[in-house]
Amino acid sequence: MASKSLLKEKPALHEKTRTGQKQKKDYPIQGAHPQPGGVLFRLWAPNCGGVNVKMIRPGGDFSLFPMERAEADGDLFETFVPGAGPGTRYLYILDGKLERPDPASRYQPEGVHGPSEVTDPMGYEWGDAGWKSPPLREYIIYELHVGTFTPEGTFLAAAEKAPYLKELGITAVELMPVAQFPGERNWGYDGAYPYAPQNSYGGPDGLKQLVDSLHRAGIAVVLDVVYNHFGPEGSYFADYGPYFTGNYKTPWGAAINYDGPLSGPVREFFLQNALYWGREFHMDALRLDAVHGIFDESPTHIIEELRRRMDALENLTGRPFYLFIESDRNDTRFIRPPLMGGYGADAHWNEDFHHALHVLLTGEQTGYYMDFSGQPDLLKSFEEGFVYTGQYSGYRKKYHGSLSWDIPADKFVAFSQNHDQVGNRLLGDRLGSLLPPEKLMLGAALVLLGPYIPLLFMGEEYGEKAPFMYFVSHGGRALVKAVREGRRKEFSAFRWDGDVPDPQSVETFLISKINPEVRKKKDPGVHSELFNFYKKLISLRKEVQALSAPERRSISASLQGNVLTVTRRSEGGYVFAGFNLSGSQAVAFPPGPAVQPGQAPGLWSALLGPTPGNDGRISLGPYETVLLRTEKEKGKEKDIKTGNNI
């Protein structure tokens, strides 16, 4: 039976106002909560008439404990089980017939269909005391998939790679989703238990050790989370309550109920999940997947409310807690402050930058690449952020995007590759298998010397040639068949011939594993040369303050023939970058407009690439990059776009 004393200690769901109406206060955190002498179980289940907790003992014996309806809200069930503790496995029995895992399970040791396990939130001894994330402008992100990053495919194996990432110069690692998914092979976007780190990766303690190791190496951690849908297997949320809504549709399944009847506890479930990752796992940032699949017409959008909650956690811990979002709508509301009608997220993945760069490097113009033309679009992205800022999209067959020219550069994340743009290709082929080394270097320079927060996809730093395929390990035949057919339909827009690799095959997963050791091979040396180039670019980005200055007025870009030139300014001086976007001819040109009127060309010093000749001009070979720097003259700092004194 539930402990009455414990029930009284929990916060009430509502309180009466002077008018007699109910005023929302707090929704208690669901799940299994270890306390002195036992465990308090808490479950929101408005669809259920009665709930029992089935406590499973080693050997298969079990005991049943009925849950009582909480006094403040009859939809909330609670019970205190004496003698239970971390390591105890349990299931909920709904209305005497359905056995289900805890929707707020912290660990699923036997997978999505098995019992949940009680965990100890205070059981791990952290070694990152004093750690504090760097500001966003200093983020150099490395996106990785735990299962394919190492041969072992575990949190602990990934933790052992912290020295490698530090050597490269990475300042932040972004983990693809790690919430419990079906089987052992998955990108992570089919998660069924948002609070439970994947069992095959190493569970909660393994994830904490990974974060701890990265922090001790001076590397922040961004966690990719999915708040737009649940995975198609092992998700039993509809048995508990109205977690889903029929008012909207997503491409991946039923939409989450963020604004319909009884949506308050649903919203709280995800808000608490976000805080859980920051509080219990010391995450420095979250990346919200596909927020265009989050539908909310509430007066306060769920993302704006999430940002407010994250602000409160920041104030409590004294540590930054950033919020990245991914959206295919180029909607700047997500990253504008609430006072400007926005939701307040910190940064936005910039797919337009990728598409323009990909077309430039590969010449591909099938599928959504048909909307992009390479050089002029890349220039616009350098200057404004998005390429599509309201004009007509032929691929989408509608007007697309919003103005972004006034948004600081550190509110966008730029990349030449990521899990989506590689893995959603027919063969999962990376740029490392599509392009010669000189083009790979050009792409790296445009990302790492560009104005936005750079993101690398694991393996690109040495030109990994292994594909990154789409893979799953679902249990049901019908579901596997549906996934296979869905992949075939997805590629129809790209007009690619050939069979689609089987996402259910273990081979599809195994060939997606990367091998950073190839960077050490001296014959033919391409991998080591590229790796050293990435290290050089990252070192320059850290060293040269102007390369991470976010203010729009500090960035000036232009096209001189086939050369993209970019001038940047900061308190430390000026830098000039030139990128020869042509592979057919060398070019010679002066280093941009005079940064400071009357300045002699000789004051420029070369940080990368050729130095200016005696005539002040730069000779740049095909696909070559140059980076120059000069110190500013006191009292002569000017806005590089207008020439006016600042």
Phi and psi (nearest 5°) for 273?
-60, -45
Helix 437-448 and helix 351-362: axis angle, to 10°?
A: 160
Asked if residue 564 lies in contact with residue 375, where contact means CB atoms within 8 angstroms, the answer is: yes
Phi and psi (nearest 5°) for 287?
-115, 115
Neighbours of 485 (CB within 10 A): 11
Alpha helices in 100-183, H assignment, sequence order: 146-149, 155-159, 162-168
Q: Which of 247, 233, 158, 139 is nearest to 193 (CA)?
A: 233
List the beta bridge partners of residue 62: 56
Q: Which residues in 321-342 are b (16+ Cβ under 10 Å) and which e?
A: bbbbbbbbebbbbbbbeeeeeb
- Indicate the Cα dihedral angle 586, 590, 593, 599, nearest 10°: 160
At 66 the three-state DSSP class reads: strand
Alpha helices in 523-577, H assignment, sequence order: 526-543
User: Which helix (H) or strand (E) element contains residue 81?
Assistant: strand 76-82
List the beta bridge partners of residue 508: none
User: Which helix (H) or strand (E) element contains residue 605?
Assistant: strand 605-608
Active site residue 289: yes
Asked if residue 442 lies in contact with residue 579, where contact means CB atoms within 8 angstroms, the answer is: yes
- Alpha-carbon gap, residue 360 to 356, rounded angstroms: 6
- Alpha-carbon gap, residue 127 to 213, rounded angstroms: 8
- Alpha-carbon gap, residue 218 to 181, rounded angstroms: 30
Q: Which of 370, 365, 371, 397 is nearest to 386 (CA)?
A: 371
At 519 the three-state DSSP class reads: helix
Query: Which entry of 289, 331, 377, 464 is annotated as an active-site residue?
Result: 289
Q: What are the E-state strand segments in 290-340?
A: 322-325
Residue 499 burial (C-beta neighbours within 10 Å; 0-12, 13-18, 19+): exposed
- Indicate the Cα dihedral angle 458, 460, 466, 468, nearest 10°: 50
Alpha helices in 10-136, H assignment, sequence order: none
Active site residue 152: no
Angle at 291 between CA 178 and CA 47, to 5 degrees: 75
Query: Which entry of 102, 284, 326, 410 is annotated as an active-site residue?
Result: 326
Point out the residues that are catalytic.
289, 326
